[in-house]
């Protein structure tokens, strides 16, 4: 299955998860500023990851989701994750990304997943990398 992971990351924590997920799936992780629309060609599984910024999806990811929504990705499998604080009041991005992917016609095969950082710069809470690997391990 050809997969693509698109992510934003200011301090490297979301990048770390995206790279691990890509490695687990034998696919490629692309940071938002390196993304090109042509990369979506033939993709069968699209995973989008974002840090939570001000209770929302990071702006560079929002921009890509607009491109994704404008394409016909009916039947492409999809999933969303984010990184942010443990406190639920700090909001999430994964459920918002999930909603946009559904709107774009993707077939969501992963529960939107929130991975926890201890502060703005990280680090990721212990065992979040393992949790990310397990999150994608059983996709088919
Ligand atoms: C401008 C800004 C706004 C943020 N707002 C939130 C927020 O509303 N909720 C939250 O949980 N974390 C928030 N954070 C913390 C980020 O989610 C955290 O920096 C991120 O998970 C780290 O991922 P990265 O290393 O990939 O950038 C914010 C961080 C920045 C820089």
pLDDT band at 138 (very low <50, low <70, confident <90, very high): confident
Distance CA(20)–CA(59), nearest Å, equals: 23
- 117: pLDDT strictly greater than 90: yes
Model pLDDT, residue 9: 98
- The finding on whether 83 has its CB within 6 A of some atom of ligand 1 is yes
Assess contact for 6 and 48: CB atoms under 8 A.
yes
Model pLDDT, residue 72: 82
- 69: pLDDT strictly greater than 80: yes
Token pair of 121 as six digits: 């710069």
Mean predicted lDDT score pLDDT of the chain: 97
- 140: pLDDT strictly greater than 80: no
11-26 tens-digit pLDDT: 999 999 999 999 999 9
What percent of the chain is predicted at pLDDT more than 90? 97
Which sign, positive or negative, has the C-alpha torsion 45, 46, 52, 56? negative
- Residue 6 Cα to ligand 1 middle (Å): 17
CA distances from 112 to 2, 36, 100 (A): 20, 24, 12
- The finding on whether 51 has its CB within 6 A of some atom of ligand 1 is yes
Domains of the chain, first to last? 3-137 (3.40.50.360)
């Amino acid at each position: 299955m050809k997969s693509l992971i698109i992510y934003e990351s200011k301090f490297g924590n979301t990048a770390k998860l995206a790279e691990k997920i890509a490695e687990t799936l034998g696919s490629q992780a692309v940071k938002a500023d390196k993304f090109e629309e042509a990369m979506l060609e033939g993709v069968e599984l699209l995973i989008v990851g974002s840090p939570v910024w001000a209770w929302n999806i990071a702006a560079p990811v929002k921009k890509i989701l607009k491109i994704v929504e404008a394409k016909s990705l009916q039947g492409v499998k999809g999933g969303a994750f984010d990184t942010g604080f443990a406190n639920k009041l700090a909001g999430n991005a994964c459920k918002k990304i999930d909603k946009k992917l559904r709107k774009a016609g993707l077939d969501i095969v992963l529960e939107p997943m929130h991975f926890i950082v201890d502060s703005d710069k990280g680090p990721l809470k212990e065992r979040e990398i393992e949790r990310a690997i397990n999150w994608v391990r059983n996709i088919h």
